[in-house]
């Protein structure tokens, strides 16, 4: 069974070029410390973590959506150019 400390170490070892990812990892560790010290109830802690997870999923979906839009734009441009030739 894993421990809170193992998960906190895992979060601390996150190394991303994306500042949002780094900020999220730091915030999650802060929430964990607040729960451990009694500043947050377990229910509040779980809710905050679930909110953070939803935010990360939304951000990932937005990135994927933007990539698909760029790909479609490029494909349409290539189709148009090929049709002119």
Domain count across the chain: 1
pLDDT-derived band at 11 (thresholds 50, 70, 90) equals confident
Assess whether pLDDT exceeds 90 at residue 49: yes
Tell me the mean pLDDT in the region 50-59: 93
Percent of the chain whose predicted confidence (pLDDT) is above 70: 99
Handedness of CA 64, 67, 72, 78 (dihedral sign): negative
Assess whether pLDDT exceeds 80 at residue 85: no
Which helix (H) or strand (E) segment holds residue 61: the answer is helix 42-84
The answer to whether 20 touches 59, Cβ cutoff 8 Å, is yes
Residue range of the domain that includes 43:
4-84
Assess whether pLDDT exceeds 80 at residue 33: yes
């Amino acid at each position: 069974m894993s421990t809170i400390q193992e998960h906190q170490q895992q979060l601390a070892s996150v190394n991303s070029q994306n500042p949002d990812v780094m900020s999220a990892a730091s915030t999650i560790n802060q929430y964990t410390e607040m729960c451990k010290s009694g500043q947050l109830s377990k229910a509040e802690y779980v809710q905050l973590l679930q909110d953070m997870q939803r935010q990360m999923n939304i951000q990932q979906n937005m990135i994927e959506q933007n990539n698909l839009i760029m790909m479609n734009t490029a494909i349409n441009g290539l189709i148009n150019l090929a049709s002119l030739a």
